[in-house]
Structure 1
């Protein structure tokens, strides 16, 4: 009987580990599940980052020459900026607006693909190219060290997958409203998936979220770009909030200012 009990305990432990491992982390990718379609001009800072003409991530306009996205969107290809373009000034993923070439890519110097820490990159275009389109305007950044209040409303937008079960990008920009999550709760909820660092924060809402194809896109609150879609576990999973790069982190904000003067 003792041997049987030990065997059952072992089987349970193995089953638990298999079950736990079967929940895939959304590293690295991010969609807007159950979002609403945006109207033309509603998100003038939103960009579609494209590699070899195919949409891979979102990005945001910082000024006429600079855009910002997630480092994992360009990781491994930063020395080939000619492969990347930005579609701007349109809520359509594959039409409208204009398309600009990327001249230089800068990943945050301490970005770590293993834990997604400091998941941010800057894209430089020809001077003034990003604001030549009348339907485009920059989004402001927060100050270094600015606090993100718990339960703060924020808006995330992108062209990513429309459901967690169908690998179909949205043809029209979608957006949804989420709420920021207490940092300790965020870390505890994701502790089996590496947790979060001070350069990250979480946001969530019932049955809606960012997902694959939304990575690198904007999370805004009170007219400022407070976060970048970074990673998560599944999409719109009620047990796991989405994780965003914290743009007010001093090491991120200072690096952006050093390169862009913004």
Structure 2
């Protein structure tokens, strides 16, 4: 059973990382040394599934809309019927509710070569994502809202638990990270293309540099400040995890245009 899942994860990773820059910028997929969540602790957390297999994290925005990373759905926008969302459960493969994705919207300026604007919206049946009593939306930051250095934030996901183990976690894991100075982050990742103003970094020494499942939520002060995007290596303090910046004006305008949120 483990072998097919590992093969599918590898296939998706290879598809996502086409292009020279993306070959260095690997979609992020691990919670290292995280703690197991209990039922109801992360009501906004979703498991994005393709052909019944968990491929990414996502987050509830309201009853009809979820948000994830663009690289999680890149190339499959016209096949939303292949995707579903598990909500209301900390278990990756059981519990909660399963809802079908009806429409996929990738950010119009997403670039798979450099992972810029790595955000996608998923539309479901009206009210589907708040029908489960253990599911609830997460708030968004205001447009242009700054992310201060050393801000404590929580990232969660079902990703690989170490850089050498390709098995997904069966139970949702989470850990606390701190946001990194933007200039320092850019310098650290210079040889991997650096970061743009649509991205920001967060890290935690000896616990989590890869940050979590691709497309998963990074939450601070009750707001979804970031979407897990890409990383270099795993659990390396010199290479912090990189997130899509949810407060970036171009992202917030686009989200508001589609969802009215």
TM-score above 0.5: yes
Paired position in structure 2 for 1:80: 79
For residues 124 and 210 of structure 1, what CA distance do their matches in structure 2 show? Answer: 31
**Secondary structure in 1 matching 2:159:** coil
CA contact (8 A) 1:57 1:213 kept: no
The 3-state SS of whatever aligns with 1:252 is helix
Q: More displaced, 163-172 or 205-214? A: 205-214
SS at match of 1:243: strand
**Residue 30 (structure 1) aligns with:** 29
* TM-score computed with the length of structure 2 as normaliser: 0.90
Please list, as runs of the form range in 1=range in 2, the aligned pairs for 1:1-262 lying within 5 A after superposition: 25-209=24-208, 211=210, 214-262=213-261
In 1, Cα distance between equivalents of 2:198 and 2:52: 31
- Deviation, structure 1 residue 212: 9.1
Q: Aligned partners of 1:157 and 1:212: how far apart in 2?
A: 8
Alignment match, 1:20: none
CA apart distance, 1:26: 4.6
- How many residues align? The count is 240
Between the aligned partners of 1:83 and 1:210, the Cα distance in structure 2 is: 31
Instruction: Call closer, same or farther: CA 1:152–1:229 in 2, change over 3 Å.
Output: same
TM-score normalised over the length of structure 1: 0.89
The offset of 1:179, in angstroms, is 0.2
Q: CA deviation at 1:235?
A: 1.4
After superposition, the CA RMSD in angstroms is 1.4
**Cα offsets for 1:238-259 (capped at 9, x unmatched):** 2100000000000000000000
3-state secondary structure, aligned to 1:231? strand
What secondary structure sits across from 2:27 in the alignment? Answer: coil
| Bigger radius of gyration among the two | 1
Q: What's the counterpart of residue 5 of structure 1?
A: none
In structure 1, distance between residues paired with 2:143 and 2:95:
35
Indicate the larger mover: 213-222 or 35-44: 213-222
Does the 8 A contact of 1:30 with 1:210 survive in 2? no
Q: Distance in 2 between matches of 1:210 and 1:48?
A: 21
How far apart in 2 are the matches of 1:77 and 1:212?
25
Unmatched 5+ stretches in structure 1: 1-23
Residues 160, 211 of structure 1: 8 Å contact kept: no
Judge conservation of contact 1:156–1:210 (CA < 8 Å) in 2.
no
CA 178–212 in structure 1, closer or farther in 2 if over 3 Å, else same: closer
8 Å Cα contact 1:26/1:234 also seen in 2? no
Give the deviation of 1:28 after TM superposition: 2.0
Deviation at 1:178, TM superposition (A): 0.2
Give the distance between the partners of 2:53 and 2:32, measured in 1 at CA: 21
